C-alpha cells in the first residue's frame, strides 16, 4: 500500500505551498467584508508552519522531517518566504524554526466572567500577504515540477511530496492541467506526488470539502481544480475522518469556498502524515 514510508531525518518528505498572490487576493472573503483574502491566507500559512515546527520538535530540538517551499504567483512567480528566508526555495524545518519574525497580535479571549478581553500574543511570521498582478498558475506549477523533479531524484524512497495550491481565480497563462499532471506524475517508490487544491471563490456558494465528484461545483474553474486534485491516500482520509468529516474512499484533496477555519483545517489535515520517527 503506498504512502506508508517512514518519515525521518534520514528519509524526509517535503511540502510545496503554491499561493495565489494576484490582485484579486486583495478582495474580501465572502461573508467577511474588510478582511482581505491575502491576509487570511498568509495567517493560515504561518499557523501551519508553526504547527509543522511543533510536530518536528523533540527533546533534543527540531528535527528535519520535512523541507518546505512557498512559491507565490502574481506579478511575479517564485520563492515567497519573507524575512531571513527571502529567496529560499526548499528549507529544512530546523532552519524554519529559527527564522520566524515575531509580530505582536491581539485576540479576544474569555474573561471567565461571561465577557471577552483583548490579549496580546506573539505571532510567528515567515510569509507576508501580497496581492498584485495576474494569476500565472501554469508557471508556478512549472517551477514546482523542476523543484520536485530534482528532489525525488535525491529522495527516491521517501514519503512523496505534497503540493498545496491556494487560489481564488482562473489561471491567466493557460490551462494548468497538463503541467499539474506533470507534477503529480513524479514519484518516489512510495507513490506519486500529491496535489491538493483550495479554491477561495467570490461566489456565496456553500463550502465543499474533499468531494468524490464535481457534482455541486457551480464554478467551472472549481471543477477543473477538482479534476487536477489527487485522490487522498488512506492516512489523510483517516485524519479527515478523525475530525468528523465524511470522506469517501475516492475523496480528492480539494476544498471549495473555504472560510478561514476551514482553510486551516484543510492545511492541517493535508500535512498530517502519522509516521514520523
Model-level pTM? Answer: 0.90
Nearest to 164, CA basis, from 141, 185, 186, 195: 195
43-67 average pLDDT score: 91
The domain spans of the chain are: 13-100+126-270
Q: What is the pLDDT, as a whole number, of residue 1?
A: 61
C-alpha span between 128 and 80 (Å, rounded): 8
The DSSP code for 84 is: G
C-alpha span between 249 and 267 (Å, rounded): 20
Encode pLDDT of 79-98 as tens digits. Answer: 999 999 999 999 999 999 99
Sign of CA dihedral 239, 242, 245, 249: positive
190-202 average pLDDT score: 89
Mean pLDDT of the chain: 88
Of the chain, the end-to-end C-alpha distance in Å amounts to 19
Q: Is 259 helix (H, G, I), strand (E, B) or coil?
A: coil
Find out whether 113 and 172 touch, Cβ atoms under 8 Å.
no
Encode pLDDT of 157-184 as tens digits. Answer: 999 999 999 998 889 999 999 999 999 9
Cell digits for 70? 512557498
Answer whether residue 275 shows pLDDT above 60. Answer: no
CATH topology of domain 13-100+126-270: Rossmann fold (3.40.50)
Radius of gyration of the chain (CA): 18
- Alpha helices (H) in the chain, listed in sequence order: 37-55, 93-97, 137-154, 177-184, 220-228, 234-242, 260-270
Nearest to 164, CA basis, from 99, 218, 215, 232: 232
Amino acid at each position: 500500500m503506498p504512502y506508508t514510508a517512514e518519515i525521518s531525518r534520514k528519509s524526509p518528505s517535503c511540502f510545496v505551498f503554491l499561493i495565489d498572490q494576484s490582485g484579486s487576493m486583495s478582495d474580501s472573503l465572502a461573508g467577511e467584508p474588510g478582511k482581505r483574502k491575502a491576509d487570511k491566507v498568509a495567517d493560515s500559512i504561518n499557523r501551519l508552519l508553526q504547527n509543522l515546527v511543533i510536530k518536528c520538535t523533540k527533546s533534543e530540538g527540531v528535527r528535519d522531517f520535512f523541507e518546505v517551499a512557498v512559491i507565490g504567483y502574481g506579478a511575479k512567480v517564485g520563492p515567497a518566504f519573507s524575512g531571513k528566508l527571502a529567496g529560499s526555495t526548499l528549507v529544512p524545518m530546523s532552519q524554519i524554526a529559527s527564522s520566524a519574525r515575531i509580530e505582536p497580535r491581539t485576540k479576544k479571549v474569555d474573561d471567565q466572567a461571561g465577557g471577552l478581553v483583548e490579549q496580546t500574543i506573539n505571532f510567528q511570521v515567515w510569509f507576508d500577504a501580497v496581492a498584485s498582478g495576474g494569476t500565472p498558475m501554469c508557471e508556478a506549477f512549472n517551477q514546482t515540477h523542476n523543484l520536485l523533479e530534482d528532489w525525488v531524484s535525491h529522495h527516491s524512497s521517501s514519503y512523496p511530496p505534497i503540493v498545496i495550491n491556494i487560489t481564488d481565480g482562473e489561471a491567466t497563462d493557460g490551462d494548468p492541467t497538463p503541467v499539474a499532471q506533470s507534477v503529480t506524475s513524479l514519484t518516489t517508490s512510495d507513490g506519486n506526488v500529491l496535489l491538493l487544491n483550495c479554491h477561495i471563490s467570490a461566489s456565496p456558494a456553500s463550502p465543499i470539502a474533499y468531494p468524490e465528484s464535481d457534482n455541486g461545483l457551480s464554478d467551472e474553474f472549481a471543477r477543473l481544480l477538482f479534476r487536477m486534485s489527487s485522490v487522498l491516500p488512506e492516512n489523510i482520509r483517516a485524519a479527515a475522518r478523525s475530525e468528523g468529516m465524511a470522506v469517501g474512499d475516492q475523496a480528492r484533496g480539494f476544498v471549495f469556498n473555504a472560510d478561514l477555519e476551514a482553510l486551516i483545517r484543510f492545511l492541517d489535515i493535508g500535512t498530517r502524515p502519522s509516521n514520523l520517527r
